[in-house]
Amino acid sequence: MFAVTAARIDAEDPLAGLELGERPDLPPPDGWEVVTVKAASLNYHDVWTLQGVGISADRLPIILGCDAAGIDATGREVVVHAVIGDPTVAGGDETLDPARSLLSERYDGTFAQRVTVPRRNLLPKPGVLSFEEAACLPTAYLTAYRMLFDQSGTKPGSTVLVQGAGGGVATALIILGRAGGYRVWATSRSETKRERALELGADQVFPPGARLPERVDAVMETVGQATWAHSLRALRPGGRIVVCGATSGAAPPAELNRVYFLQLSVVGSTMGSRDQLGRLLTFCEQAGVRPRIDRTLPLTQAADGFAAMIAGNLFGKVVFTV
Ligand SMILES: NC(=O)c1ccc[n+]([C@@H]2O[C@H](COP(=O)([O-])OP(=O)(O)OC[C@H]3O[C@@H](n4cnc5c(N)ncnc54)[C@H](OP(=O)(O)O)[C@@H]3O)[C@@H](O)[C@H]2O)c1
């Protein structure tokens, strides 16, 4: 089958390790099922893999891609949950299983004509969502859903700041926050992206580091080092930063005096459980939410999507069709 593979690790030039070509179809293990992929979406995770972040060279070659929507062996339209873990070891939440992995970390991922996953990782695709839209949900939108609705400690009507508005997770946070009754403020380096964030439902937008009209209840962090100091300053006393990523660097000054004096919380968040993905699918259906797609490309042109992500030229998700 045709697939997009991480063949080598190259921290400086991630595209150098990207290979497009034939890979063998392997028989599914017991309890696993083969899904015919119709659409898959790109995440920064796929770039990290090519750079050797979160994976070691002995796992290569491995098919990239966490997210997919497709058709299962019985002909059902499905969305693939990307977290491979055991919910029973961690109180029903497989993201807390110490042995959990994401598709494309230990098991081949979704950038292929077919992907093999545990049967419990398949959820019915709502008919109102296209395969392309559904393929955006399992990583960026699920991560945003958990950050905002489960980890932020806020309620509808609260004010949240989303750093780096253009990204896949960030656009998801704006869309879901707006639909969930939040006042969403967003920053972006680009004026064009700030305008688009307003169109998407952000209430106000700011350049990075700008003084805000008032302090916010929570900050959604995916950028890391470049925005961390601003995130700490943006919070009201007792406020919370929810962090799921650190694209610009992972070791900013912690500013512990600010954290304890203002009694701030910093909470990590990763992906979401199968139950949360089920609720996200229903939320999209009920609230009329549709993911923001920057561009859709055939899987054979995956390298163009990777290049746009590395260059930071995106507003929303890159979707590959198969
Ligand atoms: N923990 C999890 O489960 C999980 C799940 C999904 C993603 N993540 C992580 O979250 C991060 C974002 O992922 P994504 O897929 O949304 O990536 P993406 O679509 O490439 O978004 C990157 C974002 O970072 C901002 N940015 C990048 N470099 C910056 C810099 N130097 N200064 C300021 N802003 C910068 C961009 O904002 P502007 O261009 O608008 O300024 C853009 O919003 C990644 O680190 C990823 O690994 C984690």
pLDDT tens for each residue of 194-218: 999 999 999 999 999 999 999 999 9
The Cα–Cα gap between 162 and 188 comes to 9
Percentage of residues of the chain with pLDDT beyond 70: 100
Q: Characterize 110-148 residue by residue with b for buried, 16 or more Cβ atoms within 10 angstroms of its Cβ, and e for exposed.
A: bbbebbbbbeebbbebbeebbbbbbbbbbbbbbbbbbbb
Provide the pLDDT confidence category of residue 83 given band limits of 50, 70 and 90. Answer: very high
Instruction: Say yes or no: CB of residue 225 within 6 Å of ligand 1.
Output: no
Q: Is 79 helix (H, G, I), strand (E, B) or coil?
A: strand
What single-letter DSSP state applies at residue 147?
I
CA–centroid distance, residue 14 to ligand 1 (Å): 16
On the question of pLDDT at 313 being above 90, the answer is no
Q: Measured between alpha carbons, how far is 41 from 59 in angstroms, rounded to an integer?
A: 22
- Give the residue whose CA is nearest to atom 8 of ligand 1: 245
**Nearest 5 degrees, angle CA 276-CA 278-CA 282?**
115
Average pLDDT over residues 114-130: 98
- Pairing label, strands 159-162, 216-221: parallel
With a 6 A CB cut-off, is 243 part of the ligand 1 pocket? no
- CA-244 nearest atom, ligand 1: 1
pLDDT at position 131: 98
50, 145, 223, 270: residue to mutate for ligand 1 pocket, most atoms within 8 A of CB: 223
Q: What is the H or E stretch that residue 274 is in?
A: helix 274-287
Q: Which of 64, 173, 247, 276 to mutate to test the pocket of ligand 1 (most atoms within 8 A of CB)?
A: 247
How far does residue 109's CA lie from ligand 1's centre (Å)? 20
205 Cβ contact partners less than 8 Å away, ≥ 6 residues apart: 165, 185, 186, 187, 188, 194, 195, 197, 198
Stretch 252-277: mean pLDDT: 98
How far apart are the CA of 118 and the centre of ligand 1, in A?
28
Q: In whole angstroms, what is the distance from residue 265 CA to residue 248 CA?
A: 21
CB 96 within 8 A of CB 83: no
Position in ligand 1 atom list of the atom nearest CA 45: 47
Average model confidence (pLDDT) across the chain = 97
Question: Both tokens of residue 285?
Answer: 């259906």
Report yes or no: 84 and 102 within 8 Å, Cβ to Cβ: yes
Q: Ligand 1 centroid to 29 CA: how many Å?
A: 34
Output the pLDDT for position 90.
87
Residue 293 carries which side chain, given as an amino acid letter? I
pLDDT for residue 283 is more than 90: yes
Show the DSSP H helices in 131-224 as ranges: 131-134, 142-146, 168-179, 191-200
pLDDT digits (tens, 9 = 90+) for 135-190: 999 999 999 999 999 999 999 999 999 999 999 999 999 999 999 999 999 999 99
CA distance 181 to 95: 27
**Distance from the alpha carbon of residue 224 to the mean position of ligand 1, in angstroms:** 8
Tell me which residue has its CA closest to atom 31 in ligand 1.
248
Query: Position 250: which residue type?
Result: A
Assess whether the C-beta atom of 267 lies below 6 angstroms from ligand 1.
Answer: no
Check pLDDT > 90 for residue 117. Answer: yes
Q: Is the CB of 138 under 6 A from ligand 1?
A: no
- 284: nearest Cα among 145, 154, 83: 145
pLDDT of 303 strictly over 90: yes
Nearest-atom index, ligand 1, CA of 314: 19
Report the alpha-carbon distance of residue 198 to residue 276 in Å, rounded: 27
Q: 222: left (phi > 0), else alpha (psi -120 to 50), else beta?
A: alpha
224: Cβ below 6 Å to ligand 1?
no
193 lines ligand 1 (CB under 6 A): yes
Ligand 1, residue 268: give the atom nearest the CA: 1
